Amino acid sequence: MHVTILSLGTLGDVAPFVGLGAGLVARGHRVRLATYARYAEPIAGAGLDHHVLPGDPARLMNSEAARRIARASGRPAAYDREQRALEQALAAKARRVFDEAVEACRGTDLIVYSLTAAFAGSIAEAMELPAVQGFLVPVTPTRAFAPLLAKRAQSRLGGLGNLAAHLVASWRFGNSFRQLQDDWRRESLGLPPLPVRLPYGGPLVEADRRRRPLLYGISPSVLPRPADWGDWIEMTGFWPQPLPPGWQPPTELEAFLEAGEPPLCIGFSSAGGGDGERMTGIVLEALAKVGRRAVLLSGWGALGDSVRSPLVHVAEKVPHAWLAPRVAAMVHAGGAGTSHEVFRAGVPSVVVPFTGDQFFWAARAAALGTAPPPLPWWELTAQQLAEAIETVLGDPGYARAASGLAGRIAGEDGVARAVAAIERQPLAAAHSAPGASSPNQALRTF
């Protein structure tokens, strides 16, 4: 079987799909991953084909528009306003991504797409191909917990309030790029606009209406599957990215790790609030207060770029799967991918969420006892960070909770379960092979 996977976003958004693709390849399938050019190395290392989609997420994350969104975190009205402004600015670029994604899906048997590439459901519809949704964050409406961007993990109105909040969140997501998607469906795919189904609508609702299989790459030990989800929704477990073949850690990093007690690891991946200098200052002051060594992962946020200290080792990127088990604790932003790698490693953490789903995973870490209450980045001070580090290192309960959680996760095989679910999907009798006619006239002439 030939599978095309589409995923957009940061490395944390894409890396689990590299892991899923590697699992499919190990089962003898051919896999094409459509995403940005900057992820070519891990994709090739996992034995996947790479179809490059236009764009550079690092440039986007470091743009002024992204900084305004990060600064608006915690203020829902301002956050929505900045998000809409970003969507308008990205409209032309998004259309190019949509069109190139169509090319990526030609000649495939089945499409797997992420939440960040939910538009690919329309491609599957136009090409009459089976499709599987693969999401890393829980967006299906439920009474069990509040939606990702809610201030609280549990609505004051209980289960009914949670469900109502999810419906509102789904409506908002369904209206993201709505006009752009409807125009594209009509002009490029020959499809009608996405139906409006009150009280909410959009690509996720349409996928649910079709009972399109949805695989959540989330550990059920981290987030139990809600009982009110449909039977087409499966919580498989996390999809870790394998280490690249032949990968070796830098000798300087190994020497630093071996030079004393396990250090901290501090990094905010693609986050940073657009203020790497401020965050670096806070981190260095906090380290001085607690008297600990640390590995700083600079990431896209330019953390620690100017640091020169024997107590700090700065690296741009190191696989969390390798580094996390070798440190005393992780200080991170709380994205889905990083959070799951930290949970797998069995180390406690301090979570400094910046935006989006990071607040949800930060709350889960605190609820599971592997981290103290989260420290939102816009409120962060060196004193707060130092106190949180001392708390997580000084109270053995955090380490015990982290170790116990890692033991439960070790008994899961999210990739194998996801691959098995994909293999159960019936394939179309005919599809849009290269040079073949599509049943859709607009797609034939695209």
Give the separation between CA 348 and CA 406, rounded to whole angstroms. 11
Q: What value does the mean pLDDT take over residues 140-157?
A: 75
pLDDT tens-place string over residues 3-18: 999 999 998 899 999 9
Indicate the residue type of 271: A
Q: Tell me whether residue 373 is in a domain.
A: yes
How would residue 170 be classed by pLDDT, with cut points 50, 70 and 90? confident
Neighbour tally for 373: CB within 10 Å: 12
| Length of the chain in terms of residues written | 446
Neighbour tally for 391: CB within 10 Å: 15
Nearest to 324 by CA among 339, 336, 308: 339
Residue 439 scores a pLDDT above 50: no
DSSP for 311-352 reads: TEEEES---HHHHGGGSSEEEE---HHHHHHHHHHT--EEE-
Residues 260 and 406 in one domain: yes
Residue position matching structure tokens 């599809």: 431
pLDDT tens-place string over residues 262-302: 999 999 876 655 567 888 899 999 999 999 999 999 876 66
Name which residue leads in pLDDT, 407 or 440.
Answer: 407
Residues 359 and 233 in one domain: no
Task: Name, in order, each residue with C-beta under 8 angstroms of 96's C-beta and a sequence gap of 6 or more.
Answer: 54
Provide the angle, in degrees to the nearest 10, between the axes of the packed helices 178-187 and 76-104. Answer: 20
Token representation of residue 95? 């259309």
pLDDT tens-place string over residues 82-111: 667 766 667 778 899 999 999 999 999 999
Give the separation between CA 255 and CA 252, rounded to whole angstroms. 5
Specify the pLDDT at position 258: 96
Can you point out the beta strands (E) in 65-183? 110-113, 131-135
Token representation of residue 53? 């989609």
Distances (CA, A) of 421 to 20, 103, 384: 12, 25, 44
Nearest to 208 by CA among 145, 155, 131: 131
CATH number of the domain that residue 124 is part of:
3.40.50.2000
Task: Name, in order, each residue with C-beta under 8 angstroms of 176's C-beta and a sequence gap of 6 or more.
Answer: 83, 87, 202
How would residue 80 be classed by pLDDT, with cut points 50, 70 and 90? low
Q: Tell me whether residue 223 is in a domain.
A: yes
Q: Is 237 helix (H, G, I), strand (E, B) or coil?
A: coil
Q: Tell me whether residue 243 is in a domain.
A: no
Token representation of residue 20? 């899923």
Cα angle value 134/135/139 (rounded, 5°): 135
Residue 133 scores a pLDDT above 80: yes
Residues 334 and 359 in one domain: yes
Residues 418 and 394 in one domain: no
Token representation of residue 151? 């201030």
- The radius of gyration of the chain's CA atoms, rounded to the nearest angstrom, is 22
Indicate the residue type of 371: A
pLDDT tens-place string over residues 340-391: 999 999 999 999 998 889 999 999 999 999 999 999 988 899 999 999 999 9
Residues 302 and 188 in one domain: no
β-partners of residue 350 are 331
Between 232-236, 349-353, 433-437, the lowest mean confidence (pLDDT) is in 433-437
Residue 171 scores a pLDDT above 80: no
Element (H, E) at 185: helix 178-187
Q: Which domain holds residue 278?
A: 251-410
Q: What are phi and psi of 229, to 5 degrees?
A: -80, 155
β-partners of residue 42 are none
Residues 65 and 201 in one domain: yes
**Please, are residues 104 and 4 in contact by the beta-carbon 8 Å criterion?**
yes
Mean pLDDT of the chain: 87
Residues 344 and 418 in one domain: no
Residues 234 and 368 in one domain: no
- As a whole number of Å, the end-to-end CA separation of the chain is 25
Specify the pLDDT at position 15: 96
Instruction: Give me the number of domains the chain comprises.
Output: 2
Percentage of residues in the chain having pLDDT higher than 90: 64
The DSSP symbol for 115 reads G
Q: Tell me whether residue 244 is in a domain.
A: no
Name which residue leads in pLDDT, 205 or 280.
Answer: 280
Give the separation between CA 225 and CA 214, rounded to whole angstroms. 13
**Please, are residues 267 and 335 in contact by the beta-carbon 8 Å criterion?**
no
Residues 149 and 259 in one domain: no
Strand order in the sheet with 264-267: 312-315, 294-297, 264-267, 329-332, 349-351
Residues 148 and 66 in one domain: yes
Q: Tell me whether residue 246 is in a domain.
A: no
Residues 368 and 323 in one domain: yes
Residues 118 and 131 in one domain: yes
Specify the pLDDT at position 432: 38
Specify the pLDDT at position 336: 95
Specify the pLDDT at position 437: 39
Q: Tell me whether residue 336 is in a domain.
A: yes
Q: Is 239 helix (H, G, I), strand (E, B) or coil?
A: coil
